[in-house]
Amino acid sequence: MDKIKGFKGFNKNLQCTPAGKTFQFEIGQEYEHKGKVSACNSGFHFCEAPLDVFGYYAPADSRYCEVEGSGQTDGGGADSKVAVSKLKIGAEIGIPGLVRAQIEYVKSRCTTEHTDPEKATAGNYGAATAGDSGAATAGNYGAATAGYRGAATAGDSGAATAGDSGAATAGDSGAATAGDSGAATAGNYGAATAGDSGAATAGDSGAATAGDSGAATAGDSGAATAGNYGAATAGYRGAATAGDSGAATARGSVTVGKDGSGLVRGNGIKIRGGLGAVLVIVNEKAGSCDIAEWKTVVVDGEEIKADTWYRLKDGEVVEADDAQE
């Protein structure tokens, strides 16, 4: 039968665990399942809609590849998930690749046969709205809204909103919002917000926020916030915050919750964490990125207090003033 193109998520080791058993994949290899193929039960699984993979592998600690399935097939569930007997692993594309693929996926399924072809497209200062699986595009200062699995794109200073499993993209100083398992991207000075298991990315001086198990990334001087089990990353002089069991990395200030992991590196830096968190502080030499000193501590509630700012001075971890930068 015809080959089916799609997208597959994996853990950080390029593995998945069908029926609780670990299966190791390799990029460029082809695999075959012997026996019955049943969606959610047996065979190799992937999704035809790119962002549907977030529902199975949250972006905080996962990898994503293009795949091609053939042989026996089974699908028809609540989303675009399909099971096949033969699966070829293609290129690894990551979250940016998934977002681009989602936009193309939605556009390829749009039609103007029964609608005004300009209804979902607006110019500068305009408003464009599309339904589920639709694509909405607005120019600078415009507002674009798309429903479930939709793709919304707005220009500079615009607002783009997409529903669950959708992709929202806004330019500089814009606001992009996507629901659970969605991907939100905003440019410099923009604000990107995604729900649980979503991916939020903002440029320099931007703010990126993702829910539980989500991934938030902000550029220099930006703020990245992720919920429990999430991953937050911010650039130079940025602030990264992750909830319980989350991971945060920045070159400014870092906050992690209970049992989290945080790393801060640079000059004039500080870090804090909840009880049981592991904190890594790396001071750099003035005028370079070379390491001057570093230390790792665990928040035990006694020697290292919970939810208290710390910095590294002369090889020792000391409390930092809340206002220190």
Highest mean pLDDT among 20-29, 96-105, 136-145: 20-29
What pLDDT is stored for residue 119 in this prediction? 52
- Half-sphere exposure in the Cβ direction for 160 (13 Å, CA): 40
Return the DSSP state at 167: E
Calculate mean pLDDT across residues 9-33: 91
SS3 219: coil
Q: Report which of 175, 181, 205 is spatially closest to residue 193, judged by C-alpha positions.
A: 175
The 10s digit of each residue's pLDDT in 238-277 is 999 999 888 899 999 999 999 999 999 999 999 999 999 9
Looking at the whole model, is its pTM more than 0.75? no
- 51 phi, psi to nearest 5 deg: -75, -5
Band (pLDDT 50/70/90 cuts) for residue 325 is very low
Of residues 92 and 143, the one with the higher pLDDT is 92
Residue 78 pLDDT more than 70?
A: yes
- Half-sphere exposure in the Cβ direction for 210 (13 Å, CA): 36
SS3 59: helix
Of residues 128 and 188, the one with the higher pLDDT is 188
Judge whether 120 and 154 are in contact, CB under 8 Å: no
SS3 50: helix
Q: How far apart are alpha carbons 237 and 217 in whole angstroms? A: 13
Q: Indicate the pairing of strand 261-266 with strand 247-256.
A: parallel
Return the DSSP state at 99: H
Band (pLDDT 50/70/90 cuts) for residue 1 is low
What pLDDT is stored for residue 307 in this prediction? 95
Minimum mean pLDDT range among 117-121, 129-133, 237-241? 117-121
Residue 207 pLDDT more than 70?
A: yes
The 10s digit of each residue's pLDDT in 172-196 is 888 888 888 888 888 888 889 888 8
Calculate mean pLDDT across residues 275-298: 94
SS3 236: strand
Mean pLDDT of the chain: 87
